[in-house]
Structure 1
Amino acid sequence: MTFPSKTGAVKVPGANIYYETKGSGPLVLLIPGGPTDAGIFAELSAHLADRYTVVAYDPRGNSRSTLDGQPDDQNLDTHGNDAARLIETLGNGPAFVLGSSGGAQIGLNLAARHPALVDTLVAHEPPCLMLLPDPSEELAGNQAIYNTYHKEGAEAAMQKFMAMAGLDEDGAEEAPQSPPPPEALETFERIIANVDYFLAHGLMPLSQYQPDVDALRAGSPRIVIGVGADTAGQIAHRTGVALAEKLGTEPLHFPGDHSGYRQHAENFAKILHQAFAQG
């Protein structure tokens, strides 16, 4: 069954937040990370819309969520407030939330600071470097990426970023046999256009974010840390495991790599539903 999408926008301080919604039922908020936007969750949303009202959005400064003024360094409290405003506007909360990568960081901030708005948060591979026993190597790597961006440009910097994160190998298993649909091409073009903003204003402040572990351990909302079945050894997998240890929980394994919600959308949705149902 196909579920049509509806689009909308919510005014928040300093920005307009674009969102897409489909399906009906309890609210599920999908939060993308880095330079990505709502489009990365197209396949996953299609497998959730038969039982949930699925909302995906573009974080402020990315794609269709425009800033009122000039860009500034990204702030997780601001991102968390934006997510809270979306849930309050759309109603039918508290919401189930999936955040992936930098979106998982936003979800962690949302759950810690606006707990009444969240039923269960699944934080999939949050790249919180400060959770590592010794993050000095990774922090130095990010500084090198940032310096490369200013000296050599976005393409060279992103090559370093992908290699450091282990993401340059992700996606090899999904070699397309036919041209991607127009919607996927449009998403890719938007993401490419967001890279400068991410490198200039997101990479450094977001990587240094430390979630409020004490608040997250409170028991409400329920916090589930997800990791990819194929990402062992990668930075975001290691930070996810580190956070789960601090929370006293076991990480939940999802199929695929850091973007398994795309390559394995159907199975990813099944595991996600089970995680939500256990709350």
Structure 2
Amino acid sequence: MTKKSDTIKVPGAQIYYEVQGEGPVLLIIPGGPSDTGAFDMLVPHLKDRYTTVVYDPRGNSRSTLDGPPEDQDVPRHADDARRVIEAVGGGPVHVLGSSGGAQIGLALTALYPEHVRTLVAHEPPCLRMLPDADEVVEGMREVQETSRTTGWMAAAAIFNKLIGMEDYEPPQGELPPEVQEGMNRMMGNMDYFFSHGMPLAFYEPEVDKLRSGTPRVVIGIGTTSAGQLAYNTGVALAERLGSEPAVFPGDHGGFGGEPEGFAAVLDRVLRES
């Protein structure tokens, strides 16, 4: 079960990915400024049942761009995910997407359904699902402009208030060295995310395609993130899909805060497919 890493060349970028475990393939797509390190706590609870494939989305950490940064494009991200699936043997595979990674997973499923067996989209920030979508989108545009003119830390303050996490405090305590290393690495992605990543939330999932039932699409929400923006968008999307969301332990990042419980729910959902 040794972890293996590799890279593939895609149009405009190079994608870094990690593979470990055995069993059906589970592709994990990080969101926002995250990379593979966001799931270092979760994967150990899955690798005895799944071959986990986690990658750094283009522009984050070790998935370097060929040119200067530009606004992120969800269908392009979906094509990257498709190419990663093909690089590890092809689909259909299970997919877990978190936050912006859930948006990518939704686009992957709509555009390349033959590559997906089951998609679990955990708290996708699909702003277009909200009744006040225009107002929230405008707020995200302010975040992006602030990052470009004043810096990402000023943008982060606006962003956290907009998504309902201005009072969020990360879990306290000493982290394993590899987890801390990943956290430090992901901090280097903040400027790129706040300056160019807001379009991840502007993407509107293709509900008519996703309602077909093939592939199976499950929306995930956290037990402690009720009232936050991504929880609300997840619930709204599930309603549009005519399904009940799966409830996972923890908050928007429950896979890191409560990895064992998160893995148990994820395994149950995937085994239902």
Verify same fold: TM over 0.5: yes
CA contact (8 A) 1:26 1:92 kept: no
Aligned equivalents of 2:5 and 2:96: distance in 1? 19
CA contact (8 A) 2:145 2:195 kept: no
Task: Write the deviation string for residues 129-171 of structure 1: whole angstroms up to 9, x where unpaired.
Answer: 0111221331232122223223321111112212221234445
1:188 match: 183
* Secondary structure class of the residue paired with 1:51: coil
| Aligned counterpart in structure 1 of residue 224 of structure 2, from 218, 230, 234 | 230
Aligned equivalents of 1:134 and 1:218: distance in 2? 27
Structure 2: segments with no counterpart, 5+ residues: none
Aligned equivalents of 1:141 and 1:134: distance in 2? 11
Matches within 5 A, 1:37-116: 37-91=35-89, 93-116=91-114
CA contact (8 A) 2:107 2:206 kept: yes
2:193 match: 198
Q: TM-score, normalised by structure 2?
A: 0.96
Give the drift of 1:92. Answer: 5.5
Indicate the larger mover: 146-155 or 46-55: 146-155
1:135 match: 133
CA contact (8 A) 1:170 1:257 kept: no
CA contact (8 A) 1:131 1:242 kept: yes
Indicate the larger mover: 160-169 or 44-53: 160-169
What residue identity is the alignment partner of 1:224? V
Give the drift of 1:95. Answer: 0.5
CA contact (8 A) 2:124 2:230 kept: yes
Indicate the larger mover: 252-261 or 83-92: 83-92
2:33 match: 35
Aligned equivalents of 1:84 and 1:29: distance in 2? 10
Structure 1: segments with no counterpart, 5+ residues: none
Give the drift of 1:218. Answer: 1.4
Instruction: Give identity over the alignment, percent.
Output: 52
What residue identity is the alignment partner of 2:43? S
Aligned equivalents of 1:150 and 1:78: distance in 2? 23
| RMSD across aligned positions (CA) | 1.3
* Secondary structure class of the residue paired with 2:188: helix
For the pair 1:270 / 2:264, whether they are aligned, the reply is: yes
For the pair 1:258 / 2:255, whether they are aligned, the reply is: no
CA contact (8 A) 1:122 1:224 kept: yes
For the pair 1:216 / 2:210, whether they are aligned, the reply is: yes
Moved over 4 A (4+): none
1:246 match: 240
CA contact (8 A) 1:26 1:93 kept: no
Task: Write the deviation string for residues 149-195 of structure 1: whole angstroms up to 9, x where unpaired.
Answer: 233211111122122212344455x321xx32221222122211111
Q: TM-score, normalised by structure 1?
A: 0.94
Indicate the larger mover: 247-256 or 160-169: 160-169
Aligned equivalents of 1:167 and 1:62: distance in 2? 23
Aligned equivalents of 2:96 and 2:265: distance in 1? 12
Number of aligned positions between the proteins: 273
* Secondary structure class of the residue paired with 2:189: helix
Aligned equivalents of 1:64 and 1:143: distance in 2? 27
Aligned equivalents of 1:145 and 1:60: distance in 2? 21
CA contact (8 A) 1:170 1:258 kept: no
What residue identity is the alignment partner of 1:186? E
Aligned equivalents of 2:75 and 2:128: distance in 1? 17
Distance 1:148 1:158, change over 3 A: same
* Secondary structure class of the residue paired with 2:67: coil
* Secondary structure class of the residue paired with 2:41: helix
